Amino acid sequence: MRIVTVVGNRPQFVKAAAVSRPLRERHDEVLIHTGQHHDDALSAVFFRELDLPAPDHELRLGGGTNLAQTARMLTELEALLGAARADGPVDAVLVYGDTNTTLAASLVAADLGVPLAHVEAGMRSFDRRMPEERNRVVCDHLSTLLLVPTPTATANLTREGLGDKVVDVGDVVTDVTLHVHPRARERAGAWLGARDLAPGGYLLATAHRAGNVDDPARLTALVGVLEACATPERPLVLPVHPRTAARLREHGLEERLRAAPGVRLLDPVGPLDFATLLVGAAGVLTDSGGVQKEAYLAGVPCVTLRDTTEWTETVDAGWNVLVDLDAGAARAALDRPVPAERPPLYGDGRAGERVVAALERAFGGA
């Protein structure tokens, strides 16, 4: 089999790390990196620390509006996929998640008549205001093979009339987490101590969603939530996404946040350092989809700064609470009792192998 894989941002690098290795053991993979995240802090360090093969083609297509970025990707990916087909048959295009990269690759594959396989298919927040929701819905309806992480995703796709394309492979992020989290726990004491942090004695926060950081009123409310949850006794650590950093500076909120008692702003961190911060945290505040799930896998209570989530199982299990940007609700959620049970919702760490097996069955591999 010959597969063209298209990735572009941090969560996709993590997911591809679970699949590319078993895929390349038996088949050919052409890896295209659109550069949606392209600097060292958001890209190169993930390839190094997760042992992800270097991309065959690396573009620099980050920045701009969602539409402008997707338009640039369409042109470049059409040329690259055309060139790949000129070198030999392409059995499928493989995409991950819900980004502009995913949308662009899906549209190009459909237009060129190449089968499309979607890892992490079927996730739904049912909030069409989110570009991620629109992207994943379009991708699913263009796909030939829908590789889902959970029974909930299967049910979502079945309701949309796509059940005959579904294969439940489990969650590829679990594969990577089971590899990275033990390393993170081993180094946590010394690594955190060097930064004057104690395991269980701080909160970890992430924020990057356009709906939270691009609107000045919501960004101000976000800053208020972080200020309200941080104390000198239980500091709040925020690795600042470049998008968020730019908006904080633009709206004059960076210095306010830096001056807040207990708030510590960090530059973006790589996957191992982030996992170390995560496994040592008393709780997580985030607007990321992936971090909600990573927190669950780490056994860390999560507070989601949105009013919807695609990872509904974490809420049902009591490990995640949706508070939007309500500071009082966030503080209450952080102080809630930790559930006694944490069922294995996201697979057994072999999802990458199941993805490859499903690709082989669908597209004629050995």
Catalytic residue among 37, 57, 181, 208: 208
Predicted structure pTM score: 0.92
296 and 278 Cβ atoms separated by less than 8 Å = no
In this structure, the answer to whether residues 78 and 148 fall within a common structural domain is: yes
In a domain, 62, yes or no: yes
The per-residue pLDDT for 162 is 98
In a domain, 343, yes or no: no
The per-residue pLDDT for 40 is 57
In this structure, the answer to whether residues 6 and 141 fall within a common structural domain is: yes
The per-residue pLDDT for 365 is 54
**d(Cα 124, Cα 138) in Å, to the nearest integer?**
12
Q: CATH number of the domain that 222 lies in?
A: 3.40.50.2000
In this structure, the answer to whether residues 156 and 179 fall within a common structural domain is: no
Close Cβ partners of 231 (under 8 Å, ≥ 6 residues apart): 261, 262
Question: Where would I find the beta strands (DSSP E) of 209-250?
Answer: 236-239
In this structure, the answer to whether residues 154 and 17 fall within a common structural domain is: yes
301 and 198 Cβ atoms separated by less than 8 Å = no
In this structure, the answer to whether residues 134 and 22 fall within a common structural domain is: yes
In a domain, 113, yes or no: yes
Residue 208: active-site member: yes
In a domain, 341, yes or no: no
Averaged in consecutive runs of 10 residues, what is the pLDDT profile of the chain (366 residues)?
Answer: 95 94 96 78 76 90 87 96 95 97 98 98 95 97 98 98 98 95 96 96 96 95 98 97 94 95 95 96 96 96 97 97 98 95 94 98 78
In a domain, 49, yes or no: yes
In angstroms and rounded to an integer, the radius of gyration of the C-alpha atoms of the chain is 20
In this structure, the answer to whether residues 233 and 157 fall within a common structural domain is: no
Distances (CA, A) of 50 to 35, 180, 240, 274: 17, 8, 21, 13
Q: Look up the domain containing 151 and give its range.
A: 2-171+348-363
Q: What sign has the CA pseudo-torsion 169, 307, 9, 197?
A: negative
Instruction: Work out how many domains the chain is built from and give that number.
Output: 2
In this structure, the answer to whether residues 227 and 154 fall within a common structural domain is: no
The per-residue pLDDT for 366 is 47
**d(Cα 81, Cα 74) in Å, to the nearest integer?**
10
In this structure, the answer to whether residues 227 and 117 fall within a common structural domain is: no
In this structure, the answer to whether residues 324 and 179 fall within a common structural domain is: yes
Q: Which amino acid is at 347?
A: G
In a domain, 36, yes or no: yes
In this structure, the answer to whether residues 183 and 321 fall within a common structural domain is: yes
In this structure, the answer to whether residues 10 and 51 fall within a common structural domain is: yes
In this structure, the answer to whether residues 309 and 230 fall within a common structural domain is: yes
Q: Which helix (H) or strand (E) holds 254?
A: helix 254-259
325 and 218 Cβ atoms separated by less than 8 Å = yes
In a domain, 340, yes or no: no
Distances (CA, A) of 366 to 1, 10, 50, 188: 8, 31, 27, 43
In a domain, 204, yes or no: yes
